[in-house]
Structure 1
Amino acid sequence: MPADFTGTWDIVDNQNFEGYMVALGIDFATRKIAGVLKPQKIFEQDGDSFTIKTITTFRNYTCSFKAGEEFEEITKGLDNRKCQTTVNWDNDKLVCVQKGEKKNRGWTHWIEGDTLFLELTCEDQTCKQIFKRSA
């Protein structure tokens, strides 16, 4: 049985977010605002079906998918690009590949204890985020 990501997670560390946003082509003002936000992730999981909500005081983003099935994703509120996205299980990790305008784009989520890890990649940049389960 793959990992259960269900729950609410609060960010505690955010490394190289600026570099990642530059690689995405996000404008200076938006990067400055996004850089000080403390996002919260809410995972709703039913087997291989997921809804991931990223909640901030500036913008929210929701993505729903079924592991193993490609879908069209529009990253509205992020960099507003259209991607062909596939999320697959790699043991207990969720690995996302986003094909589109930007190269080497995607993310990986995994859990260790009460800690959720997220690595975001775009072109030659990697952002590492760490979340703790919300009380």
Structure 2
Amino acid sequence: MDAFIGSWKLVKSDHFTEYLSALGVSEEEISVAQSLKPTLTFHQDGESIVIKSVNIIFTSEVWFKLGEEFSEETRDHRKCKNVITLDEGKLVQVQTWDGKQTTIVREIMDDNMFMTLTFGDIASTSPIRRYK
């Protein structure tokens, strides 16, 4: 988990529009999401891990303990159950709602984070650089 601790800046997202469309996100929300380049900060607070996302429109935080289910309402208003695990150095988040499931995998390679969001046969990838 230590490799993730710190701040990260989204560089770009490939196939993000297709991913959001598959989730059922509105065109207006997709347009806004495409313009955002959030900074993500990972830190530990006691036993909890916190992922803070900051952009020009909003700030959000997700608090979780590895392997324990938690609830979240996403920016596109899905009420989800999540479980995040650390598997071979990758943070694997499984998010479920209304009988659907998406997976978010974050991994560190050469001091960069790579995030892959998968829903069905649609995958979006994003390189994220360490931010000072």
With normalisation by structure 2, the TM-score equals 0.89
Counterpart Cα distance in 1 of 2:18 and 2:47? 31
Which residue of the partner structure matches residue 12 of structure 2?
13
2:90 corresponds to 1:98: no
Distance 1:88 1:66, change over 3 A: same
Paired positions, count: 132
Match for residue 114 of structure 2? Answer: 117
Structure 2 unaligned regions, length at least 5: none
CA contact (8 A) 2:12 2:37 kept: no
Partner secondary structure for residue 19 of structure 1: helix
CA RMSD of aligned residues (A): 1.8
Q: C-alpha offsets along residues 70-122 of structure 1, whole Å, 9 cap, x if unaligned?
A: 112221xx221111211111111110111212623120111112201111122
Shift of 1:47: 7.9
Whole-angstrom CA distance in 1 between matches of 2:88 and 2:23: 28
Kept after mapping to 2: 8 A contact 1:105/1:123 = yes
Q: Which runs of 4+ in 1 moved over 4 A?
A: none
List runs of 5+ in structure 1 lacking aligned partners: none
Q: 1:5 to 1:46 in 2, by over 3 A?
A: farther
